[in-house]
Chains A and B, each alone.
Chain A
């Protein structure tokens, strides 16, 4: 042994001891570094940048120029902007109201084990596989007043120009969203319904509870956490509805379906006002994050740990 002890030597000396105390074979943080760095670089940093850009004026060329609160004051004086927030909330809420009961019923039904259910579930799942673009293009074509289904089913559609009026257009957006995403939520509920202990149902049957009572007193309470998760995803999805608006309505008629996410795109990539676009984007993030934080707190998702290890 030399008397000059380098730091490295000390560390090397101590490493085995440390390992014993920290539990053998536990990975260090370095294992998580590549994914974390990548994610921070492409999701978290842009998120910070969006905040910065919202206080600048930038037309996409040259460098962004500091503009103080200009974008914000302009936005809150902009009737289209305020209306777009209201429309976003409306479409999101309608989406949750339509999709939640549908997907719970379908999910609980599909959790049964009969053969025909498996086949039907496989078909139900298909819309989820299509891109939002494909779905929007498909529905745009189907709803075309001259070449689409309305031309053949006048009794159902009247003059058939659903996308030509605000209520019709909003209805279509909500419906198309539900058509595409109900399968996903159905699947989540199906998984959760299968995880409900059978004992509960057996006990209820012995007590003489019928199917309907079992559903309301056992199934629904047991699905509470799943409902929270599913609704978060619906809210985030609803607030960021974009492809369907771009393809089905272009925010029209007029600005009747110009929801915030679409308005952001218009401002930034059509009017080249990237500052205003960033400000709208930031608003969207704040809303989505607040909702998610609340839900993560409520559902205790962040405490997801190995139940056996118990910390």
Chain B
């Protein structure tokens, strides 16, 4: 039985304020950031904490997100614990540097407040920003609620800095839906936060002139691939660390986290797979349909990179049909990214359920309970007839 040692009084916070508050409690050595909607308040409030001396963080204002991530990388090379936040175009502008942070194995932690990518320009939620970074070698944790976003930030620090991982991590939460909505939040006491995250002790520091090292040296065909192999194995190891850290976090707060959340999935005939806030909406639809006797279930991946393919396969084994909802289109002509990943993971099953992909909610288009219910009802038709009329399609258009 876990003993809840932390404060149990709820406060009302937006997702952005919760993330900024978590960053304040972590008190990183360096934060280099450039504000962008809808993650602006994370940077704004954190810069307030820095200006008021509530953190000891060196807060670096930069002229772009490319510079923000570059400064984070430079600070990480110096041995600092580094955090930042961004959204959408900002993340896209960081693209080059994302790969450098992960390739150099710097455990930078970043809040990614999900927003659509241009063009056409749009400030509202979808996952095209973080999905575009899914192969950048960053760990990706997704958050349904303000509480999950807050909790994930602390865990991301532990996961990224774990000696077997040493890989940057981003915590994703839905722009406006989660970033600007006020929800009740259980804060963790500062002392408990400190105890949980511990000290970061990097192996090297560029500022250690007694022991000079070279970062970012040229590598050629005789070494590049070996380094990528090590990086690939390191991010794969993050999966076990996520579970271990999630368990420890549960011991501290009573809120245990795993690789995914399974909602009424045990005896489900059909399952919907969806990330972030839309999972909350879908849970309501699952409950409604369950009341009508329809056994629907939900799988909400929390860790998306590395992709927990074995666990997802195990969780979906036995369902008669699966619908993967993507809030991003990979423009591959074959649906969204989670669809292809989940479908590929299920290929190992001796009895493969039909798996359909649906793109929803782009650029902040509403995804309501009735939309989730319609998805599930269609899924029952697929399960009953075995017929799939559209393997992938947009819904809500």
- Asked if chains A and B come from one complex, the reply is no
B interface residues (Cβ-Cβ under 8 A, vs A): none
A interface residues (Cβ-Cβ under 8 A, vs B): none
